[in-house]
C-alpha cells in the first residue's frame, strides 16, 4: 500500500528505495505490478483509509473543542 501511495504522489521507484532501503528495485517494481493488476481493489482500500483518517481528525477536533469549552467554566 505504501508503494501505491508513493506512486500516486509521483515518486519514481528509485526515490521509493530511499525510504525502503530494505527492498530492491525488482521488489518495488513487483509491488507496482501488483498495484496495477489489482488497482480497483487497492484504490478502494486507499479511499477507505483516507475516509477513516478524515473522520478521525474531525472527531478529534470536535472532542478537543468540547473539552476546551467545558474546561473554561
Number of domains, the chain: 2
Instruction: Check whether residue 11 and residue 32 sit in a common domain.
Output: yes
Per-residue pLDDT, 36: 96
Per-residue pLDDT, 15: 97
Q: Is residue 26 part of a domain?
A: yes
* pLDDT by 10-residue block (mean), the chain, 73 residues: 94 96 97 96 93 95 91 61
Domain with 52, as residue range(s), is 48-73
Instruction: Check whether residue 53 and residue 24 sit in a common domain.
Output: no
Per-residue pLDDT, 22: 97
Output DSSP code: residue 23.
S
Q: Is residue 32 part of a domain?
A: yes
Residues 42 and 1 sit within 8 Å (Cβ to Cβ): yes
pTM: 0.69
Cell triple for 70: 467545558
Q: Is residue 43 part of a domain?
A: no
Amino acid at each position: 500500500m505504501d508503494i501505491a501511495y508513493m506512486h500516486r504522489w509521483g515518486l519514481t521507484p528509485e526515490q521509493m528505495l530511499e525510504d525502503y532501503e530494505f527492498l530492491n528495485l525488482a521488489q518495488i517494481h513487483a509491488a507496482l505490478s501488483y498495484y496495477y493488476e489489482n488497482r480497483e481493489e487497492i484504490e478502494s482500500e486507499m479511499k477507505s483509509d483516507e475516509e477513516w483518517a478524515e473522520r478521525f481528525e474531525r472527531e478529534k477536533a470536535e472532542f478537543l473543542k468540547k473539552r476546551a469549552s467545558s474546561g473554561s467554566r
